[in-house]
Amino acid sequence: AAELASQHEAGLAHTAALRYYVEGARGALGHFAPLEAIDLTSHALILLDRCPEGPERLELEFALVSVRAMACSQQFGLVSTEGDIAYRRALELCEILPLTPDRAQVLGGLAWMYYSRADYDNSLQVSLRMKSLSRAHDDAVLDVAACCLLGAINRMRRNYIEARGHLERGLTLCKALGDKIPAAAFVAERDRGAAQRADA
């Protein structure tokens, strides 16, 4: 995908190039190469000004910054400045574009960033927004992400019964989903092998 992106860029087909840069960055992230994803998105974001303004350009920017945010969180940490900048821009774009369940996944990274900074009020606000969206769209993956956050936040606030309720619901949903949970839905991918060994 990165090679196709560079070919389109050389041909001045910048919009097509950006689509392939997004694909390349997602592929890098899926192969545990966050630094490569950061490099690809850094270059691709420079090309945005060469694309005509409009919804398609905003969609491409959101795709780039959402992948970049997760990559920065993995490479530099959840409280990194790089991740913060990318997540905040993604949130700005979420206010402009229709907030679909797939797009709402970026809210999870933002909520975990707040949580890591002990900013539980903002983390809770974003998590409740995710929960509301998961119900509105009947999206189990988004519900799992919200349950994890709400369980962690309530545990830190010593609301143990409420925390347990959220975590148990999340576990039930995970079991039902099995391997259908996309890795991109979460800032940190679980070690499936380790989980299977623990179950054994």
Is the pLDDT confidence value at 188 over 70?
no
What distances in angstroms separate CA 65 from CA 44, 94, 164, one per listed residue? 10, 11, 33
Q: Which two tokens stand for residue 200?
A: 């054994």
Any residues with CB less than 8 A from the CB of 88 and at least 6 apart, and which?
A: 110
Region 100-121: mean pLDDT is 87
CA distance 50 to 72: 25
pLDDT at position 105 is 81
CA distance 138 to 136: 6
Closest CA to 149 of 137, 134, 138, 10: 134
Class of residue 75 by CB neighbours under 10 A (exposed 0-12, middle 13-18, buried 19+): middle
For 7-62, the pLDDT digits (tens) are 888 888 899 999 999 999 999 988 889 999 999 999 999 999 999 999 999 999 99
CA distance 136 to 132: 6
**pTM (predicted TM-score):** 0.74
Contact (CB, 8 A) for 126 and 111:
yes
Closest CA to 68 of 96, 97, 34: 34
pLDDT at position 104 is 82
